[in-house]
Amino acid sequence: MKEPKVQVGILFEPQIEFVLLSPYRMGETEVSGRQVATYDEGRILWNGRLYDELLFEPQHEQTGAFELLDVTIGINFHWERKEDQRFPGALRIIVENGKLTGINVVHVEDYLTSVISSEMSATASLELLKAHAVISRSWLLAGLSPAPTSGVERGAAGPCHGTADKSNHNEAITRPPLPTEEKPEERLCWYERDAHTRFDVCADDHCQRYQGITRASTDIVKQAIAATRGQVLTFDGKICDARFSKCCGGAFEEFQYCWEDTRYPYLAKQRDSKTHTALPDLTQEAEADHWIRTSPEAFCNTTDKKILSQVLNNYDQETTDFYRWKVEYTQEELSALILKRSGIDYGQIIDLIPMARGTSGRLWKLKIVGTKRTLTIGKELEIRRTLSTSHLYSSAFVVDKEDLSAEGIPGRFILTGAGWGHGVGLCQIGAAVMGEQGYKYDEILLHYYINASIDTLY
């Protein structure tokens, strides 16, 4: 196959200002310089005429670039701001939801160069960057089949699945969860990316962070992309759903315990180690309790600052206790927090009871027992969101209760936990350690995606 193009939704505004930095064409007309497109009663006003859609294509694909002015980045985050951004490739403008959507139509490899530069630290090892390039490409192309062609509208073939579990990024987007099943005393839901139907991916943390060529890509990122050009993970002839998280906590979680009830053989339980391969059955409470309270050997069991800086940005590096961690709440703090986060008044919290765990010890069903209400919640992200002001590092935790009153109501809850994120697929910190220890990118990938293959599509 030829290298496909990807359509990236960048900007959603009533008016889009942009600068064509080299000669472009719109239909038969050559255009360059500063332009303004405005939403006008369901159509696009540009140069005094109304259009249903605009497509500006570069005269010379290798050198063509344009600038979008006032692009919002970090949507819904504390650091949300606007900046001018520069992009290679074509610019498509469509009407969507009473606004204009600006879409960059760009070759997959150019897109990935920007994404990997945004996602990973420039200090990351070449093998880690190569592994990440293959994951990002796999995730992207799995959602692109059949590959889109420039300027052609394509309905998404299915949900735009999320790979990342960037604990202070993409989950902060609030949208209704997808319910799986609800019984009177049980509420299970999971969070997926809803399909973008008029383009393939968005440019924010919701999909993968993409800022075009606004910031220079480092040579090592370009090297990692070039070395893995066209490579994807496959299993049984299909491109893998290549999920990843920060730290698995020593054992891999399986897909079905975090999202819909589908088993992917390549996302299977395993210990994050080559020297210690035995893994207790962490779906059993006693085994999970012992595992979480101890600090078993694993690739991701590290406090090496040099390695952590490859994966964690400056903001995240204040955290060193993610392999094993503790959170304490008073009764007042916990009952107020659960009410605020869930909208359900349980009264005072009497107990948090583990009901079902996945293969990494992560809870996917937790019973909350209150003086006014009892309810079992899941899956893992819902549990994490309910028990934290943002979300708990992971749902692999055990609970200790202290200062019981005469009525049996605890005054304090201590959560002891393991890992950071959902734990499915590649463990970024474990992979960084493997890279430092001399493992090649294909060995890293096939450690985390069991019995998968690495195939070159183009």
pLDDT digits (tens, 9 = 90+) for 56-79: 999 999 999 999 999 987 766 666
pLDDT at 79: 63
Give the model's pLDDT for residue 334: 98
Predicted confidence at residue 373, as pLDDT, reads 96
Residues 366-387: tens digit of each pLDDT: 999 999 999 999 999 999 999 9
> In this predicted model, what pLDDT tens digit does every residue of 308-324 receive, in sequence order?
988 876 545 456 688 99
Residue 286 lies in a domain: no
Domain assignment present for 109: yes
Q: Which tens digits make up the pLDDT trace of 244-281?
A: 999 999 999 999 999 999 999 999 999 999 999 999 99
In this structure, of 44-53, 154-163, 431-440, the range with the lowest mean pLDDT score is 154-163
* pLDDT confidence of residue 161: 34
Whether 101 is covered by a domain: the verdict is yes
Q: What digits encode the pLDDT tens for the residues 161-212?
A: 333 443 333 333 333 444 445 566 899 998 775 557 899 999 887 788 898 9
> Does 125 fall in a domain?
yes
- Which pLDDT value is given to residue 45? 98
Residues sharing a CB contact under 8 Å with residue 456, sequence separation 6 or more, in sequence order: 229, 230, 231
Q: Tell me: the pLDDT tens digits for 116-148?
A: 987 778 789 999 999 999 999 999 998 885 433
Whether 73 is covered by a domain: the verdict is yes
Look at 208-222, 296-310, 344-358 and tell me which has the smallest mean pLDDT: 208-222
pLDDT at 194: 55
Kindly indicate the confidence band of residue 160, based on its pLDDT and cuts at 50, 70 and 90.
very low
Domain assignment present for 373: no
Higher pLDDT among residues 292 and 196, named by residue: 292
Its domain, for residue 56, covers 5-160+195-227
- pLDDT the model gives residue 182: 57
* Residue 187 within any structural domain of the chain: no
φ, ψ of residue 79 in degrees (nearest 5): -100, 15
Count how many domains the chain has: 1
Q: Considering the domain boundaries, does residue 136 fall inside one?
A: yes
Average pLDDT along the chain: 89
Percent of the chain topping pLDDT 90: 76
- Tokens 């935790």 found at: 397
Write down the pLDDT at residue 193: 57
CB-based contacts of 62, cutoff 8 Å, min separation 6: none
Q: What is the pLDDT of residue 146?
A: 47
More confident residue, 151 or 282: 282
The pLDDT value recorded for residue 120 is 79
